[in-house]
Structures are given as C-alpha cells and as structure tokens.
Amino acid sequence: MWPNTELTKRLGISYPIIQSPLAGGIATPALVAAVSNSGGLGALGMGYQSAEQIRRSVKDVRGRTNKPFAINLFAHERIAADPKQIGPINQILQNYRNELWIGLPPDLEHYAPPLEEQLSVALEEKVPVVSFTFGVLPPRWIQKLKAAGILVVGTATTVREGLELEKAGVDMVVAQGYEAGGHRANFLGPVETSMIGTMALIPQMVDALKIPVIATGGIMDGRGVVAALALGAVAAQMGTAFMACPESGAHPKHKDSLLHKTEENIVLTRAYTGKTARGFKNRFTTEMATHEDRLAPYPVQYALTRNIRVAAYQQSQTEFMPMWAGQGVRLCTSRPAAVLMADIIKEVNDVIAKIRE
Ligand SMILES: Cc1cc2nc3c(=O)[nH]c(=O)nc-3n(C[C@H](O)[C@H](O)[C@H](O)COP(=O)(O)O)c2cc1C
C-alpha cells in the first residue's frame, strides 16, 4: 500500500518518512539510527557542530546502522559583530547571567563553525544525504556533493525560495510550513512573509518546482504523512513528533513540556539566536520580547546567549532554556523511535484503508 516515491527510490529506503535534523544535541546518533533502521531517514542536526564533532557523530551513526541517513548544516554567511551593536543587548543579558550565577563573559570570538570545514567532512565521509537550511549553499559545493553521489536537499519557506534552491542545483527541497517547531528556514525577504501554513505551501511548491518536494511542519502521525503525500510531497519530515522519544537528547524538562503543554503555550521568538524560532513561552521569551529592536542578528545573538542556555540546561531552569516545539505538540508522545515509526506506518495504512471505504 505504501507508495514508492522519488525519495524512497533514490535512497532505497522503505518509507517516505524523515526525522527532522534537530540541532542542539536532540537528534542523537541513537535517534537517527533508530529511524533509519525502521525504514525511514534519520537526520543529524550538525549546524552548530565543528568538523571534528560532525565526524564523530557520523561514525557513531554508522556504528549503529548501515542504512542511509542525513546530516544538516546551516548555509549562512560568516558574520563579524560590531561591538557597538551588541553593547546594549549584552548589558540586558548580563542580568540573566547574574541570576544564573554565570561568572564568565560570553565568548564573542566564535559565532558559527566554518561551513567549508563542515562540508569537507560531509564529502570525505560520503554521507548519503546533506540537507541545509537558512540559505543556499555555494553552487560549487552543491555540485561537488552531487558529483560524489550525495543527495543534496535545501529548505524553503516560500515558492520564491524553492525556485532559488532549484536554480542553485539542489536535488530536492524541504518546504517548511508555519506550524514547524524550531527556526524558520527563511532566507529571502523578511520572516513575516515566510509564514505560510504547510497545507497551503506544499501544493504551491509542488506545482512551481520541477524537483521533488518534502513536506515539513505540524506533521505528527500517519494522518499527517498521508496528507503530505496527498498534497504531492515525496516525503514527510517530522521533528516535534520525535522529540520526546527516549532516544532524543532533549532536556527531561523540555520533554515534560512537550508531553503536557499545548499549542497555546507556544510562541515565535528571536530571543535566543536572533533568528525567529517556534518554542515554548517562558520568562526569557516574554521579557526579551520587550527588547526586540535591540536583539542582535543570527548568529551573534546565539553566541551572546550561549552561556545562559548552557547554565539553564545545567540548572534545569525552564524559564531560561530554549524549548523548541511545533504547533502539533498535543500529539507528541514518549514512545521509543522504532515503536513510533511502526505506529506511524500502521496509521498510514489504516488511514488509506478508511479513505477507500
Ligand atoms: C528542536 C528543533 C531543532 C531543529 N533543528 C533544525 C536544524 O538544525 N536544521 C533544520 O533544517 N531544521 C531544524 N529544525 C526544523 C525542522 O527541520 C522542521 O522544520 C520541523 O521539525 C518541522 O516541524 P514539526 O516540528 O512540527 O515537525 C528543528 C526543529 C526543532 C523542533
């Protein structure tokens, strides 16, 4: 009953289900391998990791599965911060550092790992899939990866972004709807113009692009997977659905929120990274919203809040730690990833059978 899509055929996998690359240590090698071993495609979120960390994670995944998997990187420009620009916001953030007993100042030298080094590891390790977000990889890198037999996938929030990625030569595009947990992938135009719901975005993207489209944002179970395929997507990419699995590296209190809070507790915020992201509302998101015009751009704000985030995790302080989540949060469960995959696969069959009745 399962359709063979361009993604399953290209990778030789059983099901057109992708576990979102959940950066920040949430998509652990154990989670990624469990999804790939269940016939889907697991993905490592490696945007924040150094080349060496990426190499270690890739080896870890390979020690757990011989099935295809993806790594995901951030395709943004290198950024240097203007001390005048960060002074006022850094002062505001100092209040939180004091409250969390953080003695050391933030590290303002290292904003993001060098993309070229990250890409070199992907190439050397010949990972089966490289996906990216926040922009367009340099076309010569897209060509290099493709020449090595790697499937290259970009992320778009509008049809215009999808066309730009297609022009740059990617094999497939992830279309990210407004419902999505974590960061908005937008890279053309202001974030406000990127807020298109998954239901509206997918068929428009499918019609406008010649290359295959993967749907993401708010897909939580078999019903969502069927809907994504019905809208013309070649796969469904799911993040929030996997975040409370035992294999997920999310903080236990974050998992607790995923299991007990609702879509009404979720906000869009730039407070942690400077780039708009969807997650649970807390004291930090609420108070920082009053300083919106002073926040530094991504990834400078990310560097400025680094020691606050680390301390909040260590001290289990949910009022200060980022807890990303998508709008489908009520459907989040804590099943092991292999069980969740088996249940989704069964639900898809049940939904299709029901539609046929
Ligand atoms: C905790 C978290 C981390 C994420 N990290 C990444 C990432 O590193 N790269 C990426 O392309 N997308 C990332 N995303 C976005 C997902 O790829 C995807 O758009 C999202 O999970 C879809 O919405 P859903 O959570 O409702 O399934 C992240 C999402 C979450 C919730």
235 C-alpha vs ligand 1 centroid, how far in Å? 15
Nearest CA to ligand 1 atom 15: 182
**Mean pLDDT rounded to a whole number for the chain:** 95
| pLDDT confidence of residue 216 | 99
Atom of ligand 1 nearest to the CA of 176: 19
Contact present, 133 and 172 (Cβ < 8 Å): no
Q: Using pLDDT thresholds of 50, 70 and 90, give the confidence band for residue 109.
A: low
Pocket mutation for ligand 1, best pick of 32, 174, 183 (most atoms within 8 Å of C-beta): 183
**Which ranges constitute the DSSP H helices of the chain?**
6-11, 29-37, 51-64, 83-99, 115-124, 139-147, 159-168, 198-208, 222-230, 252-260, 283-288, 300-304, 306-314, 337-356
Strand order in the sheet with 182-183: 182-183, 277-280, 266-269
Q: What is the mean pLDDT of residues 223-242?
A: 98
| pLDDT confidence of residue 357 | 87
Q: What is the mean pLDDT of residues 221-245?
A: 98
Q: What is the mean pLDDT of residues 195-223?
A: 98
Instruction: Report the predicted TM-score, pTM, of the whole model to 2 decimal places.
Output: 0.97
**Helix, strand, coil % in the chain, rounded to nearest 5:** 45, 15, 40
Atom of ligand 1 nearest to the CA of 278: 31
- Each residue of 169-200: b (16+ CB within 10 Å) or e? bbbbbbbbbbbbbbbbbbbeeeeeebbbebbe
Question: Is the CB of 217 within 6 Å of ligand 1?
Answer: yes
Q: Using pLDDT thresholds of 50, 70 and 90, give the confidence band for residue 1.
A: low
| pLDDT confidence of residue 275 | 95
Q: What is the mean pLDDT of residues 291-315?
A: 93
Question: Is residue 112 scored above 90 in pLDDT?
Answer: no
22 C-alpha vs ligand 1 centroid, how far in Å? 5
Q: What is the mean pLDDT of residues 278-294?
A: 97
239 C-alpha vs ligand 1 centroid, how far in Å? 5
Q: Using pLDDT thresholds of 50, 70 and 90, give the confidence band for residue 77.
A: confident
Pocket mutation for ligand 1, best pick of 19, 20, 134, 313 (most atoms within 8 Å of C-beta): 20
d(CA 144, CA 357): 48
| pLDDT confidence of residue 84 | 77
Question: Is the CB of 180 within 6 Å of ligand 1?
Answer: yes
Q: What is the mean pLDDT of residues 102-111?
A: 74
Question: Is the CB of 198 within 6 Å of ligand 1?
Answer: no
Question: Is the CB of 13 within 6 Å of ligand 1?
Answer: no
Q: Which of 78, 176, 195, 85 has the alpha carbon at shortest distance from 131?
A: 176
| pLDDT confidence of residue 3 | 82
Question: Is the CB of 18 within 6 Å of ligand 1?
Answer: no
Higher-pLDDT residue of 339, 110 = 339
Question: Is the CB of 269 within 6 Å of ligand 1?
Answer: no
Nearest CA to ligand 1 atom 3: 22
Question: Is the CB of 72 within 6 Å of ligand 1?
Answer: yes
User: For 37-51, how does the pLDDT look when each residue is reduced to its tens digit (9 = 90+)?
Assistant: 999 999 999 999 999
